[in-house]
């Protein structure tokens, strides 16, 4: 298994181009199942999660062609006549569950394997089920699969989520585009990826209003048609690279970055003493004087501080002046990076959903193990600031969500290489 070697200590300088958003792309791709005509996605990130979704869609009978070195995907739901999403593919990636709503809308039935255990918490599907049932679907769990049927077709309905789940909002929004009548989703997720999906669905002929707010209204139409849609910038990749100069010192420009994608996160960086400037087409981030200050962080649904940046933020705060408290409210088991950071000399105490970080002057390089996608990149960030060498193993997690991570970090002056084995 490959690992990544980082020699820490140097300040950073240069530019990083931010890729298209993994999480947006993973919900845009299944939208092709809703239409007979082709859907073309541009600004696609080149990641193993995108390959997994490609495999899943092909297994359902859809056509997916990768063009322009993977930057463009040409998809067609024309021949998609298999409504069964098999466990062998779904278990690799939870986002596979995003085919449930489109399959149900298109075929009136679907069988989608439950994703199974996940490293960052239980992550059940009850909110997805509740939302689709409100649209008239009958859903039962049998042999590890959610079997969903809408023999008389889906009909619009009132859906009130107990929690603003991103995936459930996406599934119900997609299903409702082809339902008879009007659907209103209350307490909908407001993440930018939801608005990106709504924009794409509107380009395909869907009638959707209110995305980006807590109430989304979808008026069902008879059919959707083809479209071409550019994937929005990846705010989590953006936030991750914003942390690189924050932790190692220096100045880095993130091309394609915008403050509106990372508002709450940028505010915390500012509070910690990191400068962030929006140029209109990029973000410039710099830390040129002294250590950062401790800050308290609580993860929340958008527009709050994203859970997907919590591990990386913790890496920064390990070297802050003072004591920081990080509270994780979205996932119940998302501090697995903490013991690895402790191996590098960090002082962290975890109790339930709260981590208390007492900043140290300097981290020390060590062999560490990636436990999930965001945890792995937090260890790279820590390695940038550490004295000596850090080797991060199990980097297949990184390949799921960070494209060309070694090239991008090297491009801003980090001493980093991939060790093949
Ligand atoms: C998406 C993102 C993921 C991010 C998360 C929260 C994608 C592909 N993934 O995941 O990177 O970390 O949003 O911003 O977009 N829950 C239930 N029942 C459900 C659904 C969710 O209890 O039916 C719980 C989950 O266990 C979790 C919380 O709700 O504790 C958040 O989940 P959700 O917003 O659904 O996240 P995902 O869509 O899976």
User: CA 171 to CA 159: how far, in whole Å?
Assistant: 12
Question: Which residue in the block uniquely carries the two structure tokens 């990641």?
Answer: 47
Cα 111 to middle of ligand 1, angstroms:
20
Which one from 11, 84, 118, 342 is the annotated catalytic residue? 118
Residue 320 near ligand 1, beta carbon < 6 Å:
no
Residue 26 near ligand 1, beta carbon < 6 Å:
yes
User: What ranges in 344-395 are assigned the alpha helix state H?
Assistant: 373-385
Cα 164 to middle of ligand 1, angstroms:
9
Residue 94 near ligand 1, beta carbon < 6 Å:
yes
Residue range 22-230 in CATH 3.40.50.300: no
The answer to whether 308 and 301 have CB atoms below 8 angstroms apart is no
Cα 293 to middle of ligand 1, angstroms:
31
Contacts of 267 by beta carbon, 8 Å cutoff, 6+ apart: none
pLDDT of amino acid 122: 60
User: CA 235 to CA 258: how far, in whole Å?
Assistant: 9
User: What ranges in 80-123 are assigned the alpha helix state H?
Assistant: 87-90, 100-107
Per-residue pLDDT of the chain (421 residues; tens, 9 = 90+): 899 999 998 899 999 999 999 999 999 999 999 999 999 999 999 999 999 999 999 999 999 999 999 999 999 999 999 999 999 999 999 999 999 999 999 999 999 998 864 455 566 899 999 999 999 999 999 988 999 999 889 999 999 999 999 999 999 999 999 999 999 999 999 999 999 999 999 999 999 999 999 999 999 999 999 999 999 999 999 999 999 999 999 999 999 999 999 999 999 999 999 999 999 999 999 998 789 999 999 999 999 999 999 999 999 999 999 999 999 999 988 999 999 999 999 999 999 999 999 999 999 999 999 888 889 999 999 999 999 999 999 888 898 899 999 999 999 999 999 999 8
118 is annotated as an active-site residue: yes
Q: CATH 3.65.10.10 residue ranges in the chain? A: 3-19+233-419, 22-230
CATH superfamily for domain 3-19+233-419: Enolpyruvate transferase domain (3.65.10.10)
User: CA 105 to CA 201: how far, in whole Å?
Assistant: 14
Residue 123 near ligand 1, beta carbon < 6 Å:
yes
Contacts of 41 by beta carbon, 8 Å cutoff, 6+ apart: 25, 28, 29, 72, 73, 75, 228, 229, 230, 231
């Amino acid at each position: 298994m490959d690992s990544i070697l980082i020699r820490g200590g140097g300040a950073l300088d240069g530019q990083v181009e931010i890729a298209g958003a993994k999480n947006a792309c993973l919900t845009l791709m299944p939208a092709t199942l809703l239409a007979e005509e082709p859907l073309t996605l541009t600004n696609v990130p080149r990641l193993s999660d995108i390959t997994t979704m490609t495999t899943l869609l092909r297994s359902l009978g859809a056509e997916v062609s990768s063009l322009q070195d993977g930057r463009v995907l040409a998809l067609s739901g024309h021949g998609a006549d298999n409504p069964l999403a098999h466990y062998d593919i779904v278990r690799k990636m939870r986002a596979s569950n995003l085919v449930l709503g489109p399959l149900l809308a298109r075929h009136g039935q679907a069988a989608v394997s439950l994703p199974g255990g996940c490293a960052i918490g239980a992550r059940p599907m009850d909110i997805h089920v509740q939302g689709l049932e409100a649209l008239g679907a009958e859903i039962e769990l049998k042999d590890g699969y959610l079997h969903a049927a809408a023999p008389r077709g889906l009909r619009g309905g009132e859906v009130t989520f107990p929690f603003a789940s991103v995936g459930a909002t996406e599934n119900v929004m997609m299903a409702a585009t082809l339902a008879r009548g009007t659907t209103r989703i209350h307490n909908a997720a407001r993440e930018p990826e939801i608005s990106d999906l709504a924009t794409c669905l509107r380009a395909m002929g869907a009638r959707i209003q209110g995305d980006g707010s807590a109430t989304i209204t979808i008026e069902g139409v008879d059919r959707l048609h083809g479209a071409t849609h550019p994937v929005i910038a990846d705010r989590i990749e953006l936030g991750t690279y914003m942390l690189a100069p924050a932790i190692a010192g220096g100045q880095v420009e993130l091309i394609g970055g915008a403050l509106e994608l990372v508002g709450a996160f940028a505010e915390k960086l500012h509070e910690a003493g990191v400068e962030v400037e929006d140029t209109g087409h990029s973000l410039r981030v710099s830390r040129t004087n002294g250590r950062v200050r401790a800050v308290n962080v609580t993860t929340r649904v958008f527009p709050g501080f994203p859970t997907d940046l919590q591990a990386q933020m913790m890496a920064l705060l390990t070297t802050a002046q003072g004591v920081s408290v990080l509270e994780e409210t979205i996932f119940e088991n998302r501090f697995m990076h903490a013991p690895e950071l402790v191996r590098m000399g960090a002082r962290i105490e975890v109790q339930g959903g709260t981590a208390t970080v007492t900043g140290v002057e300097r981290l020390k390089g060590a062999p560490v193990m990636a436990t999930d996608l965001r945890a792995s990149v937090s260890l790279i960030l820590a390695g940038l600031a550490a004295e000596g060498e850090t080797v991060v193993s199990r980097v297949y997690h990184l390949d799921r969500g960070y494209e060309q991570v070694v090239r991008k970090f090297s491009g801003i002056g980090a001493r980093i290489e991939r060790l093949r084995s």
